[in-house]
Structure 1
Amino acid sequence: MAEKDTPIRMYMDDPTIVWRKGKPDYSKADQLYLQGRTKFHALDSVEKTVSDFVKTFEMEVRHKLRLEDFHTITPDFKMNVNGGRYFDVQEILARGSYNVFLSNTPLYDADKETNASSDQLFSGAFTEGFGWEVLEVINGPPKLVFTWRHWTRMTGPFRDHQPTGERLELFGSAVANMTTDNRLSCVNLFFDPSTMLTKLQGHCPILNN
């Protein structure tokens, strides 16, 4: 069952692809997903289809350098996080996905990080990978709406904060527009990164009594 359930990331085998740092290896992330997921979607379900598509999108945005190598987005693709400004694809490739995802939070100054430094910072803290799963697809394409969960453990240092081994989780939702040829033209993400960031930086979350 595990082999059938392993995420499928498409568009990785073309030898002409220009990779940022070589073809990525997702074996750790896939193992984390299979061991830590909370949902078991049927292989022919819309949730499984959306899950594989989003994982392919993440792979392209994070690891590919040329727009002509992308298959999951349109040339005029844009993304918005928590009501902040929209980023186009060239900005996302230049700034890096972590810096775009965390661009609108007071606990992380994305303007002080580069694509390379942010990737090193989080990859170094999440040495076991970063699991991601679709929880529920609320509406199918062309207006795609779904909820998701992100999880990992802090197994490496984050700046000067030593690893705690603590489990970190993020929950969020996404609203996306898809074209008739199954490409994303616009994505709006909604999630609260504060709990994860406070733990990574050694702070105690403020509890509301």
Structure 2
Amino acid sequence: MEIKYWSDIACPFCYIGSTRMKRALKELGLAATTPLEFKAFQLDPTLPTTTKADMVTNFSTGHGMSRDQARAQMNQIAAMGAEDGLKVDLINAVPTNTLDAHRVIKFAATKHDADLTERVINALYQVYFSQGESIADHAVLTAAAVKSGLDATEVQAVLASNQFEQAVRTDEAEAQQLGIHGAPFFVINNHYGISGAQPYDTMVDALKQIQAKEVEA
């Protein structure tokens, strides 16, 4: 089985959904034999790298709701993440452009070490949702990447260039071609799709059904 999934570091449902998918794969004994490929998907590619707006303002404006409604919804998302053992502090997250974070992930993937890439992805999620730091800040990105096992000089060189930007755009173009308009979105064996942060049991059942169909085929 092969799985590729479109995701954004600034997307709480991507963080939650991918965590559930990984847990489901482990439960079914598929984790060791199932490549899980992270595909770049920017929820809002128009965001600047620096802004004075806080996340509550950004969220309420983007979703057409009051600040109180935004806070309530963001607290619901935090509770949803907590059910999966994740800290999802969206209220204190920094609204920013995620292109450079995606470029770092693409660079990590060139090392052909799935565990390393996974560590980088998780570190960036934690920077964004747990530490309230900007994932457009090159110093922050470098520190997270180095902590995950990448070389500081190499990461800095990537960030100082436009390396891997085209790879990010290619992922986004592929999503458009497939009719994917939101994240997370999981594509299994290039045929089956699972959209959103589905409940854990739903993901387990979906994987079991796909397994059965593949055996029948």
TM-score range, shorter chain: under 0.3
Structure 1 or 2: larger strand share?
1
Name which structure has the greater RCO, CA cutoff 8 Å, separation 6+.
Answer: 2
TM-score, normalising length from structure 1?
A: 0.26
TM-score, normalising length from structure 2?
A: 0.26
Structure 1 or 2: larger helix share?
2
